[in-house]
């Protein structure tokens, strides 16, 4: 593992002294600044008093004075800590435990004993996603304008940067853009990465763990046969719904395993985007044909919900 130069402060909450020290040493070797506490109440006191300090949090689930799940629930209920990514580092590896943590808002779930590279890759990815979501919110604020007048339009893009700008624009066609934008972004990234660039799930796992994921994306975007491929997004709006149709030029895939949160993938540093889009952003989601076309719908007649 190669040391990184960009310091991010991470809070590690672990009641076992040896486990806490090991996690801190692993993260410090990778360039993270680590604050270590040994019980849940101390972790919550640090988070609630200085939420802007922490780029991420690594939590044990079972701790004295406050459990990791209680900390996570408090963080998600507080606007100041809501967006700080949380990774569970725990021996509780039952399927129900993993699903409970992911559904409560944990970014990733690393079970003990663990590969140090997996912990680092998960934390890096979580922090990068937090930044991407923050950028998406800025796009939302700057692109409201006349998009509400849209009835039908088609757009094309190639890269992550273009996808982010376009997701921020098109989410404003829905009545709750903050709810829609993350799911739209995930579907658009899937079309770029696993569609046009033909990167498999296993390849992404290995590249993220090696820290070379973005290098490989850049290489494929600039080389044959991928550089000329585009993703098409069609958005239509009528009195009953907003519909997004995203189509890539890849060979397709079998979407079934990715439509729900799977405990078997909860310990991987990616793999939940489609499930998040389906469950949290849209009223309906359907992959068509070989899997390289996806249609997502937002109902305009249903009562609004947060």
pLDDT tens digits for 201-226?
999 988 988 889 989 999 999 999 99
**Phi (first) and psi of residue 91, to 5 degrees:** -90, -5
Evaluate whether 267 touches 109 at the Cβ level (below 8 Å). yes
| Interval 274-280 mean pLDDT | 87
Kindly state the helix (H) or strand (E) to which residue 196 belongs, with its residue range.
none
Domain boundary assignment for the chain: 9-114, 131-299
Question: Is the predicted pLDDT of residue 147 greater than 70, yes or no?
Answer: no
Question: pTM for the full model?
Answer: 0.68
Task: Quote the pLDDT of residue 50.
Answer: 93
Q: Which CATH architecture has domain 9-114?
A: 3-Layer(aba) Sandwich (3.40)
Question: Is the predicted pLDDT of residue 2 greater than 50, yes or no?
Answer: no
Block residue for tokens 């975007």:
221
Question: Is the predicted pLDDT of residue 227 greater than 90, yes or no?
Answer: yes
Structure-block tokens of residue 151: 């009835």
Give Cβ neighbours of residue 178 (< 8 Å, ≥ 6 apart). 137, 140, 171
| Interval 152-166 mean pLDDT | 90
Task: Quote the pLDDT of residue 232.
Answer: 97
Evaluate whether 226 touches 158 at the Cβ level (below 8 Å). no
Task: Quote the pLDDT of residue 229.
Answer: 96
Domain 9-114 identical in fold to domain 131-299: no
| Interval 159-178 mean pLDDT | 87
Query: Which of helix, strand or coil describes residue 194?
Result: helix
pLDDT tens digits for 44-99?
999 999 999 999 999 998 898 899 999 999 999 998 998 899 999 887 766 677 77
**Rounded distance, CA 148 to CA 170, Å?**
9
Is CATH 3.30.565.10 correct for 131-299? yes
Task: Quote the pLDDT of residue 1.
Answer: 37
pLDDT band at 5 (very low <50, low <70, confident <90, very high): very low
């Amino acid at each position: 593992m190669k040391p990184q130069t960009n310091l991010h402060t991470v809070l590690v909450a672990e009641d076992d002294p040896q486990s806490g020290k090991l996690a801190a040493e692993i993260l410090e070797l990778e360039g993270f600044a680590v604050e270590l506490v040994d019980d849940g109440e101390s972790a919550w006191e640090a988070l609630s008093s200085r939420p802007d300090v922490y780029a991420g949090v690594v939590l044990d689930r079972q701790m004295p004075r406050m459990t990791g799940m209680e900390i996570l629930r408090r963080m998600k209920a507080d606007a100041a800590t809501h967006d700080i990514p949380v990774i569970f580092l725990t021996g509780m590896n039952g399927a129900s435990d993993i699903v409970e943590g992911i559904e409560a808002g944990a970014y990733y779930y690393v079970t003990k004993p663990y590969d140090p590279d997996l912990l680092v890759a998960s934390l890096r990815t979580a922090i990068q996603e937090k930044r991407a979501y923050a950028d998406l919110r800025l796009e939302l604020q700057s692109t409201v304008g006349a998009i509400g007048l849209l009835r039908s339009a088609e757009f094309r893009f190639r890269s992550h940067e273009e996808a982010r700008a376009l997701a921020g624009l098109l989410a404003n066609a829905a009545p709750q853009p903050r709810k829609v934008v993350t799911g739209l972004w995930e579907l658009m990234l899937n079309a770029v990465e696993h569609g046009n660039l033909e990167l498999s799930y296993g390849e992404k796992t290995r590249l993220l763990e090696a820290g070379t994921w973005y290098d490989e994306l850049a290489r494929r975007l600039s080389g044959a046969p991928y550089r000329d491929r585009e993703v098409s997004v069609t958005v239509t709006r009528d009195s009953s719904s907003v519909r997004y149709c995203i189509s890539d030029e890849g060979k397709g895939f079998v979407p079934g395993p990715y439509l729900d949160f799977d405990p078997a993938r909860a310990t991987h540093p990616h793999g939940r985007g489609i499930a998040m889009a389906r469950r949290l952003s849209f009223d309906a989601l359907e992959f068509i044909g070989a899997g390289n076309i996806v249609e997502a719908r937002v109902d305009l007649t249903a009562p609004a919900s947060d």
